[in-house]
Amino acid sequence: MISQMFAKKRSFIAALALTSALSAGMANAAVEEIHFLIPGGAGGGWDGTARGTGEALSKSGLVETVSYENMSGGGGGKAIAHLIEVDGQADNTLMVNSTPIVIRSLSKVFPQSFRDLKPIAATVGDYAAFVVPTNSKYQTFQQLINDYKENPRSVAVAGGSARGSMDHLVAAMAFKAAGGDPKRVKYVAYDAGGKAMAGILSGEAHVLSTGFSEALALKNAGEVRILAMTGDERSAAAADVPTLKELGYDATFINWRGFFGSPGLSDEKADEYAAVLEKMYSTDEWAVVRDRNGWTEVFKPRAEFTTFLEGQEQQVGDLMRELGFLQ
């Protein structure tokens, strides 16, 4: 009987301790729940950004519950339309997006723009990069430029999205900075980064225009050499890769990635999300995710994010008009 009493007492104390621990965890969470809406499929840049951010928020205890939903279609337009449609019922939803929301809005791929959503914050940046297969004759970006200047049609640039997309525009910007005619870039469009990579491996194209984090993964796998990247300075994740600027070309580019809420999300809730994302930067869990992906921190909350988007819209629009993609 006495032993049973002690056993019950121990069980009660253990249950009480567990309840207290759970309560403490909930009390420490800055936000109870975030549901990440991802406008593309698994394995892409949007997917990696949402899941990496969710991992850091969850493991650091800043957010109690994290979930994900991939919704491909319409170049990201399907997810945007969905978030607008469920306005009022999506206070826990954050949609990840990036520079393409500006490009595709300008080119009318979908009718909405960032103005139809509630900008929360830009969180990370991914530079662009130019990569070639390890067996390519091109050892330097300058060699590629020399061939382009001699005969622009002799250099085919692969990208994982359509003409006029970010991969195309970044290549045009780089070749223009090197003294070439951006309108003469021979851009070979593929419908995914993996297919674009297969294109340069097969010889259908000579160089791949892609995100630096994707290029870094390919480089670490021993599949490619990175000829140049578009940062202001070299990345610690690949210190041997030169920037366009240090090669003498006045061109930089960063593909921001960040989060949006539904249009009717209250400013109070939007500020709460921006605040928890800012807190995330000081956690060890975030440092692991950031360094693993080679991301650069570009935190721009709320009003600052909106101002940045307006500026990028002007810059990208000017280049698209120069290339003939906009009137």
* Digit-coded pLDDT (tens) for 43-61: 778 999 999 999 999 999 9
Percentage of the chain exceeding pLDDT 70: 91
What was the pLDDT predicted at 165?
A: 82
Whether residue 74 is predicted with pLDDT greater than 90 in this model: the reply is no
pLDDT band at 300 (very low <50, low <70, confident <90, very high): very high
**Cβ burial, residue 28 (10 Å; 0-12/13-18/19+):** exposed
For residue 45, the surrounding DSSP H or E stretch is: helix 45-59
Tokens of 49: 């950004």
For residue 242, the 8-state DSSP code is P
What was the pLDDT predicted at 28?
A: 58
What was the pLDDT predicted at 41?
A: 85
Whether residue 294 is predicted with pLDDT greater than 80 in this model: the reply is no
Q: What are phi and psi of 203, to 5 degrees?
A: 95, 0
Mean pLDDT of 228-248: 89
Q: How many residues belong to the chain?
A: 327
The count of other CB atoms within 10 Å of the CB of residue 89 is 10
pLDDT band at 260 (very low <50, low <70, confident <90, very high): very high
CA of 134: how far to CAs of 131, 143, 224, 243, 244, in Å? 9, 15, 5, 19, 20
For residue 232, the 8-state DSSP code is S
What was the pLDDT predicted at 6?
A: 41
Q: What are phi and psi of 93, to 5 degrees?
A: -105, 130
CA distance 99 to 45: 11
Tokens of 132: 């070639």
Percentage of the chain exceeding pLDDT 90: 50
